[in-house]
Structure 1
Amino acid sequence: MLLNDVMRRLRYALSLDNSATISIFKLVDYTLEEEYLSNMMKREDEEGFLPCRDKTLAMFLDGLIIKKRGKREGVTPPVLASGERLSNNDILRKIKIAMNYQQEDMMKILRTGGFPVGKGELTALFRKADHRSYRPCGDQLLRNFLQGMVKTYRPEAHKK
């Protein structure tokens, strides 16, 4: 799944405009130009499209955590090293932390998005990668989770 899609769907679900998104980046001491943000929000086939980098999405998610949960004293969010990738599991974990979701909340959102999962399956997504019960989060699960968030936070968008 394109990271641009993740950012676009999260912004839509949480009703974040450009200025709100830029302020979230400022929470992690990163200055994002509005033009750059606008180009990241374009579709792939639109002129001026810029791909969202893993590091950029990670900073956005860390900023969202700070916005929703507050900044932890003496702790700065880790910055992705050059070439390091952000997995779907990482994205889901950061959204879970930011939104303060419990297991039942996540299962409800996935059901709303048309992708019901059991407790065991959901728990496996949040295990360490070297754990025997770890399960990688697929694009379809992440896509349906984000769709469930849109339906949960913006129900008016789906009543048309």
Structure 2
Amino acid sequence: MTNNDILVRLRYALDLKNQEVVEIFALGGYEVTMDDALKILTKTVYDDWGEPIETDDHMKCTNAMLESFLNGLIVFKRGPQEPRPGQSAQPERLIKNQSSVNNALLKKVKIALALKSEDMLEIFKSAGVNVTKGELSALLRKEGHKNYQECGDKYARNFLKGLALKYRS
């Protein structure tokens, strides 16, 4: 699943308007125009070998853009937070490579929507996936922790599906 697919699904699940998407990017420290936002939110077109095709009406969402959006979503939903003494104003980057994108998505959406672990388990269950508390805890751990587990596309896709069922029904 590409970063663009994640943004499209997240936007749908949370019923965000185009202007809100631009505002969320700005809150996360990444400036995009309305035109750029529309290009980012177009579905990715793939060639016969499953590779994404770049077109003039499609803009690739980088890891930095996605993380800025997720950080902006936290500020958009919960309000700005004053940094504690000795804490930097910019949050630590969680997305270090493509394999950590889905884990960061789960963590940041959990924070933005003030979800508890039970809420997340319920969201997964509504999408037809049974996740145990231990598995969820492993998905939410910091990369490098001994119990850290990489979140696959199946979990991320079903989490976004469950969010859509919860927030759009």
Could you say whether these structures have the same fold, taking a TM-score greater than 0.5 normalized by the shorter chain as the test? Answer: yes
Matches of residues 72-111 of structure 1 in structure 2 within 5 Å? 72-74=81-83, 76-78=89-91, 80=93, 84-85=96-97, 87=100, 88-111=102-125
Which of residues 93, 99, 113 is equivalent to 2:127? Answer: 113
Counterpart code for 2:91: P
Cα-to-partner distance string for 1:51-108 (whole Å, 9 max, x where unaligned): 1111111111101101112211135333759x94362111111111111110100000
Distance 1:10 1:141 in 2: 14
Distance 2:28 2:121 in 1: 29
Q: Which residue of 1 aligns with 2:50?
A: none
SS of alignment partner, residue 100 of structure 1: coil
Q: Which residue of 1 aligns with 2:148?
A: 134
Counterpart code for 2:72: G
Indicate whether 1:125 and 2:134 are aligned. no
Cα-to-partner distance string for 1:16-68 (whole Å, 9 max, x where unaligned): 11101111122234321111111111122284222111111111110110111
**After TM superposition, what 4+ stretches of structure 1 lie above 4 angstroms from structure 2?**
none
User: Cα RMSD between the aligned structures?
Assistant: 2.0
Q: Which residue of 1 aligns with 2:35?
A: 35
Distance 2:63 2:110 in 1: 18
Distance 1:80 1:90 in 2: 9
Counterpart code for 1:10: L
Counterpart code for 1:133: N
What TM-score, normalized to structure 2? 0.83
Q: Which residue of 2 aligns with 1:19?
A: 19
Structure 1 unaligned spans of 5+: 156-160
Q: How many residues align?
A: 154
What TM-score, normalized to structure 1? 0.87
Distance 1:10 1:152 in 2: 12
SS of alignment partner, residue 56 of structure 1: helix
Matches of residues 145-156 of structure 1 in structure 2 within 5 Å? 145-155=159-169
Q: Do 1:55 and 1:79's aligned partners in 2 also have CA atoms closer than 8 Å?
A: no
Counterpart code for 1:76: A
Q: Which residue of 2 aligns with 1:56?
A: 65
Distance 1:104 1:16 in 2: 24
